Structure 1
Amino acid sequence: MMGKRVMIVDDQIGIRLLLEEIIKSEGHAVTACENGKEAFDKINKEAPDLLVVDYKLPIMDGYALIKSLEEQGTNIPTILMSGLADEASKKCEGLSTVKNIFAKPFNVEDARETINRLLLEK
């Protein structure tokens, strides 16, 4: 399987490093961003195959990021992460690119499985 490109958007370094480790161990390339604005700008230059986005982010939150991408026709399968999974899933109901929601703290094996499954579907 060819390596895919995954972008992680989270303002917590620990989460970014953990996800980066999982994704790289599966043979994929990783880009990491700290906020939605930075991610949005990078995606417009080069879109990844999968987004893993935290719901609560500085400057531009996860919801705003995904909504902005969808509005401009950039449809990237997305995993949303949140400590408030119920609130996040309600708010993101109308977003077609959100394929999965991880409640934080998430299970590493579940994360690995979901990421691989979504990358295979692409």
Structure 2
Amino acid sequence: MRVMVVDDQVGIRALLAEVVKQQGFQVVLAGNAREALEKFSEGPPDLLLLDVKLPGMSGLELLRKIRETHPHLPVVLMTAYGERDIEEEAKRLGVHAFLAKPFDIEHLKELLDRFRGGASSNSLL
């Protein structure tokens, strides 16, 4: 199973990639929306870890584009606390779970374990 991590911060991408690999998944990394779309066109991942704040195109804009062709792709949105308006829009776009920044590695591992266990589209929440 492949997990795509989209975050513009190199250190966060590296940390997330390490956790994802330790949990037994293949990982695909992208530093911005354009790069994510390029890699997405090579084959969609099984799970998307997506940061809200990206240069150029936001994570929510990227998600809107992805939903056009992959409406059921499981998505974990990474966002800072206090962004309720973003969370409401994300839920409307079918985000399956939120990972608050700064994030808790154990929470991420739990989400990945639930996903690996055959989580249905809404059971990651």
- CA, structure 1 residues 17+73, in 2 after alignment: closer, same or farther (shift >3 Å)? closer
Corresponding position of 2:35: 38
TM-score (norm 1): 0.88
Contact 2:23–2:112 (CA under 8 A) maintained in structure 1: no
**In the TM superposition, what whole-angstrom CA distance separates every residue of 1:29-65 from its partner, at most 9, and x where no partner exists?**
1111001111012112211110000001012211011
Corresponding position of 1:92: 90
**2: distance between equivalents of 1:86 and 1:104?**
14
**1: distance between equivalents of 2:47 and 2:20?**
11
- Residue 29 (str. 1) matches residue 26 (str. 2): yes
Deviation, 1:7, is 0.4
**1: distance between equivalents of 2:70 and 2:9?**
28
Matched residue type, 1:88: I
- Give the alignment's Cα RMSD to 1 decimal: 1.5
Paired residues in the alignment total: 118
TM-score (norm 2): 0.86
**1: distance between equivalents of 2:71 and 2:89?**
19
Deviation, 1:74, is 4.9
- Residue 66 (str. 1) matches residue 66 (str. 2): no
Task: Give the unaligned 5+ runs of structure 2.
Answer: 120-125
Other structure's SS at 1:113 match: helix
Corresponding position of 1:17: 14
Other structure's SS at 2:92 match: coil
Task: Give the unaligned 5+ runs of structure 1.
Answer: none
Identity of aligned residues (%): 37
